[in-house]
Amino acid sequence: MCATVRMIEEMLFDIAPAETAESYDNVGAIVGRRDAKVTKILLALDCTLEVVREAVEKEAELIVTHHPLLFHARKNLLEEDPEGQILCELVRHHISLIAAHTNLDQTEWSGSASCAKLLNLQNIRKESAYLFLGELPAPMAAAELEKAISGAIRFPTRRYGSESAMVKTLAIAGGADDGDWPEAQALGAQALLTGEVRHHNALAAAMSGFVLFDGGHWGTEVPLVPVLAEYLQNRLNDVQYKVRVYPSLYAPFGSV
Ligand SMILES: [Zn+2]
């Protein structure tokens, strides 16, 4: 028997049910056909043209990404715009696309939970839809933690808040989630690592003695790629399907 796009979609929904995704989201199979045979899967954060080329090179029939294509409604499919070009390339090469987005953000396979593991946080727990908390092995000054995060996620991280503030409990919400900082503080964290920090949130947090770390949207979410690839590979091995899952090596903004 062969693995199919439908089967991979179901394996993803097993850990990240479709109904838990936000109403504005677009998760599950997006391009291709559900009964298409799959022997190679490329896993990436975004379905960029480079990722499609990597899939073509590896002869992958399926790309699984975190961020969906067709997130916004389209009225045309023209190659002269970037998303149109990517969609046409997928169809031209018979490559299917599945996305696991806000449904995945709420699970232990999320970028947030993956970052927490890279930082060796203890007692990692999900405290609300998108907030994960954990304790650092020992309390750390914010300036020191800023460097430790950059090293762990391998992406330049920026601190907003006092360099000497001591952090023991760190909240993590990967991607664009700086608005959750008051909730993180109420839950007992002294700092929040997220991927996009807006000025008004940085200022309000600093004034209340709380620290925000901006590890970049890419930096705080790409750690999910190898974790999700391992999950899919293990599931496929368990049912003895000969499918290889490759984490994409594409890094649009480099790393440290
Ligand atoms: Zn994201």
Q: 170 — phi, psi (to 5°)?
A: -110, 135
Are the beta carbons of 174 and 111 closer than 8 angstroms? Answer: yes
Q: 98 CA to middle of ligand 1, Å?
A: 15
Quote the number of domains for the chain: 2
Query: Is residue 124 in a domain?
Result: yes
253 belongs to a structural domain: no
Over residues 200-240, the pLDDT tens digits come to 999 999 999 999 999 999 999 999 999 999 999 999 999 99
Instruction: Enter the tokens of residue 97.
Output: 């696309």
Q: What are the pLDDT digits (tens) for 44-86?
A: 999 999 999 999 999 999 999 999 999 998 999 999 999 999 9
Same domain, 135 and 193: yes
Q: Is residue 256 part of a domain?
A: no
Tell me: do 72 and 119 sit in the same domain: no
Residue from 3, 5, 16 nearest 224 by CA: 16
**Which residues lie near ion ligand 1 (Cβ < 5 Å)?**
175, 221
Residues 207 and 181 in one domain: yes
Ligand 1 center from residue 239 Cα (angstroms): 31
How many whole angstroms from 62 Cα to the centroid of ligand 1? 20
Q: In this model, does residue 120 exceed pLDDT 90? A: yes
**Any idea what the CATH number is for the domain that residue 152 is in?**
3.40.1390.30
* Residue 250 binned pLDDT confidence (cut-offs 50, 70, 90): confident
For the cut 90, the answer to whether the pLDDT of residue 256 exceeds it is no
Contact 197, 160 (CB under 8 A): yes
Residue 5 Cα to ligand 1 midpoint, Å, equals: 23
Angstrom distance (rounded) from CA 82 to CA 114: 30
Q: Judge if 206 and 242 occupy the same domain.
A: no
In a shared domain, residues 228 and 192: no
For residues 12 and 235, the answer to whether their CB atoms sit within 8 Å is: no
Give the position of tokens 């007692």.
Answer: 123
From the CA of 53, how far away is ligand 1's center (Å)? 22
pLDDT score of 251 more than 90: no
Identify which of 46, 169, 66, 156 has the alpha carbon closest to the alpha carbon of residue 111: 66
CA of 176 to the centre of ligand 1 (A): 7
CA 145 / ligand 1 centre spacing (Å): 23
Nearest 5°: CA angle at 14, between 33 and 134?
A: 130
Q: Which tokens belong to 153?
A: 């996620």
Q: What's the gap in Å between 105 CA and the centre of ligand 1?
A: 9
- 7 with 48, same domain? yes
Stretch 134-150: mean pLDDT, rounded? 97
C-alpha of residue 201 to centroid of ligand 1, in Å: 19
Whether 124 and 156 map to the same domain: the answer is yes
* 25 has a pLDDT exceeding 70: yes
Q: How far is the CA of 67 from the centre of ligand 1 (A)?
A: 6
**Ligand 1 centroid to residue 206 C-alpha, Å:** 24
Q: Domain range spanning residue 192?
A: 111-215
Distance 221 CA to ligand 1 centre (A): 6
Give the pLDDT score at 241: 93
Q: Per-residue pLDDT averaged across 83-95, rounded?
A: 98
50, 250 contact by CB (below 8 A) = yes
Q: Is residue 87 part of a domain?
A: yes
